[in-house]
Structure 1
């Protein structure tokens, strides 16, 4: 029994409607609020039993339009600046449909999809300033990409055959990074069996960058204690403030102790495509780098990238050490040539055609146009920072180094003890009133409204509207009695 349609004509008609509706939905994004909660009646309808009998596709699509499409995260909206989320594009959306239609399996094989992923990786290698001989693979996102880099570091720097003998065959391993490093680092150390203590979080300076002197002291202390340092993580744009560590300094420190230098560039590395590329100078010296094209590359989820300077080091971390299984062995001719090319460079054997949306987006938009959009976001962040500094009732809580602005409403006369709750309430009102979606962080015990601009649809008027709304809502709430 086939799962193909009984009526291909009806599917064609519904498919044309889907494409039109989704393009129109993106085109008219400004006519909607950035976010709205899912109503209880919708939640009730979605809480349905297993559909043992199918429905016509057009009925299923009608349910999607009614109950799913109106209630997304909202990150496609020009006033969505929460966390670090990308916006996607019409080209990326269409590429996802084409990739799903092909349904290619990307462990390797002699096929067009493998050629496209190899070509995309060569483009990214060049744009990031890595050598042509570097290795790479597309993954789901930053956590997977960073884990890939650390796994290569562990094999390269453990000092024994860790894949064969395991962690117990040598001293405890240590990885260093600033206290501003994303939580993936501890999660990766847990996943690798090294434990959370294996990540040594080093203090930061006043601009939230890794303190190199403190890191060097920690390395010496750990060595004296019988531990084995293997890697230093440099941040090319921290999540809280977009701070960029001294990447050249980390390279020098890593070389002093023979350590692996890994760059977490989840979104910030993409500044290399813009006129502000000097912000991330030194990342091209890393042994491995991880970044997300679904963040500041404006491509649909999911597509992260890891590049490894020494291609053999990446292979050493993932290629089967006891020989490839018979059913996966490559041949000289036929489809089985390069059967596991990508699987030998990462954790996944079954992989989708992520590369198509990258290839189509870069072909249609061009790397320069994407870089201009990134530069616009950087300029917009500095514009917002200046507006905050010029407004008496607002306070900038961290330097604006890239595309993140952290500020708070702090008018004269409001006690410091009240400001955290007040700003938390302002943030909530911005979201629930459908005005904008920033997120939050806490800096030096101060609650911050955090605006991360990784949105190619954002305009300066949107940021002006945010400032006006914060002032209006802040005055309204400060005058009320609901907050202590």
Structure 2
């Protein structure tokens, strides 16, 4: 058996090590609903990880096995804090194959581009983008947004040049509830964060479309060049869905690129509970969303879809001589990811997405999403019915924002401490947010393992900690 410098000296021993670690990993996943949600990393284990520079090599299995309980906790059904998918055991198998192949999925004629292009085609179909759309599997919505907005910026500059329009400063629009990745993309692309207009929202935390129109008209009058509006399908604070159809109309009237941030909410098109509020996605010029959220693909994987393949390719296709394609051989292939994004060196993350979608099917994923939305409704009913709990926002999707009420202590401080106490207890992991200047407990239900019994545990723990901390803070 041929062995390289870094290959195992004994493949049978390595196989046994691999099987043992796989068994430990599957044990972890099969008991995801047991024990603590979040467990802080012990100082002793932290010290083992922060060892001096390794020179001679050594055994890593013990530490690999030891770290299993010390993640974020998002595989547990009572992880409610942030929009993290729970993943699925099936993802382990695809990652094993991808690691063993160790391919660069940036291009060339091999299996990875074929798998990636198929996933893009499936998602373009589900999201209503059609057969001619392009796309790219990326690390997540943050990078997907950069890809989409660069394409939009480049198109705006090209059209200004073609039409002979005096080019003022490019400006874009999104709601004040939109994800910060849009602002970050404006910064990274050199547009400047002050070129992104944050449009106010209505009482349902949806973009005020009248205010959007007024802001566009004001910018045109000031000599600026509006080029983009970004709607939100599932705001991270509380799950609001902008009126995407109306925003699409406004974008068409003013000749703006219409982008949708669908980081988690776009997946609602797979089910029935929210699909009727997401029809406007099919009218977008670009869409960004994550597979590792409501699709339940293991971290990390996101997607950008762009309706105009030529525009997408024009923004990124600039191969050096050593990457020149050929009709035949390994330098062939119809889809090179490097032509559609900033990365040439890319792992085979498309494989776990493809395998996940094939194994489970879009219908089962949609049913999971609908069940999460139903659970959020059930939690809201519990909140409304409890005399000490107060809803802080509507529940349009899968996120509840509420607080424990008190007439004795500062409720912002109280609810912040309740959340920290719950996290440290290991019983549940909600998070906090601020709505209309007030701190709220934020409970997001994205986990396919969450049951109604988990909601009961959460409510009981919130009330228990609230009563205890109210006494402590009132001293």
TM-score surpassing 0.5? yes
Q: 1:42 aligned to 32, 42, 45, which one? A: 45
Q: 1:476 aligned to 444, 468, 471, which one? A: 468
- Alignment correspondent of 2:344: 349
Deviation string for 1:266-324 (max 9, x for gaps)? 0000000011211322111100000000011111111000111111111121112xxx3
> Normalization by structure 2: what TM-score?
0.96
Q: CA deviation at 1:146?
A: 1.0
Contact 1:83 1:438 (C-alpha < 8 Å) held by counterparts: yes
**Inter-partner Cα distance in structure 2 for 1:310 and 1:123:** 17
Deviation string for 1:68-97 (max 9, x for gaps)? 222111111110011211111100122112
- Answer yes or no: is 1:177 the counterpart of 2:169: no
Deviation string for 1:232-264 (max 9, x for gaps)? 000000000110000000000001110000000
Contact 2:177 2:235 (C-alpha < 8 Å) held by counterparts: yes
- Answer yes or no: is 1:14 the counterpart of 2:17: yes
SS at match of 1:263: strand
Contact 2:263 2:290 (C-alpha < 8 Å) held by counterparts: yes
Counterparts in 2 of 1:160 and 1:123: CA distance versus 1, 3 Å: closer
Deviation string for 1:123-160 (max 9, x for gaps)? 11111111111111100101001111111111112355
- Answer yes or no: is 1:115 the counterpart of 2:114: yes
SS at match of 2:449: coil
Q: CA deviation at 1:228?
A: 0.7
Give the gaps of 5 or more residues in structure 2.
none
Residues 183-194 of structure 1 mapped to structure 2, 5 A cutoff:
183-194=180-191
- Answer yes or no: is 1:360 the counterpart of 2:352: no
**Inter-partner Cα distance in structure 2 for 1:160 and 1:314:** 15
**Inter-partner Cα distance in structure 2 for 1:45 and 1:161:** 58
- Answer yes or no: is 1:149 the counterpart of 2:141: no
**Inter-partner Cα distance in structure 2 for 1:309 and 1:339:** 18
Contact 1:330 1:340 (C-alpha < 8 Å) held by counterparts: no
**Inter-partner Cα distance in structure 2 for 1:256 and 1:312:** 23
Q: How many aligned residue pairs are there? A: 467
SS at match of 1:136: strand
Contact 1:408 1:448 (C-alpha < 8 Å) held by counterparts: yes
Residues 154-233 of structure 1 mapped to structure 2, 5 A cutoff:
154-159=153-158, 170-233=167-230
Q: CA deviation at 1:339?
A: 7.6
- Alignment correspondent of 1:434: 426
SS at match of 1:138: strand
Contact 1:440 1:450 (C-alpha < 8 Å) held by counterparts: yes
**Inter-partner Cα distance in structure 2 for 1:104 and 1:419:** 53
Contact 2:25 2:68 (C-alpha < 8 Å) held by counterparts: no
**Inter-partner Cα distance in structure 2 for 1:281 and 1:382:** 22
Deviation string for 1:413-450 (max 9, x for gaps)? 435xx111111111011100011001110111211110
**Inter-partner Cα distance in structure 1 for 2:238 and 2:331:** 47
Q: CA deviation at 1:114?
A: 1.2
**Inter-partner Cα distance in structure 2 for 1:91 and 1:244:** 31
- Alignment correspondent of 1:165: none
**Inter-partner Cα distance in structure 1 for 2:63 and 2:158:** 57
Residues 81-480 of structure 1 mapped to structure 2, 5 A cutoff:
81-159=80-158, 170-276=167-273, 277-320=275-318, 324-338=319-333, 341-411=336-406, 413-414=407-408, 418-480=410-472
**Inter-partner Cα distance in structure 1 for 2:216 and 2:203:** 22
SS at match of 2:33: helix
SS at match of 1:448: strand
Deviation string for 1:153-200 (max 9, x for gaps)? 1111235588xxxxxx94211110000111111111110111110111
Contact 1:173 1:230 (C-alpha < 8 Å) held by counterparts: yes
**Inter-partner Cα distance in structure 1 for 2:400 and 2:44:** 37
Contact 2:119 2:353 (C-alpha < 8 Å) held by counterparts: yes
**Inter-partner Cα distance in structure 2 for 1:287 and 1:339:** 23
Q: CA RMSD in A?
A: 1.5
Deviation string for 1:437-476 (max 9, x for gaps)? 0111011121111011111111110011100111111111
Counterparts in 2 of 1:363 and 1:235: CA distance versus 1, 3 Å: same
SS at match of 1:81: coil
Counterparts in 2 of 1:5 and 1:339: CA distance versus 1, 3 Å: farther
**Inter-partner Cα distance in structure 2 for 1:94 and 1:6:** 25
Contact 1:262 1:289 (C-alpha < 8 Å) held by counterparts: yes
SS at match of 1:65: helix
- Alignment correspondent of 2:61: 61
Q: 1:24 aligned to 27, 39, 43, which one? A: 27
Counterparts in 2 of 1:49 and 1:129: CA distance versus 1, 3 Å: same
Q: CA deviation at 1:340?
A: 6.5
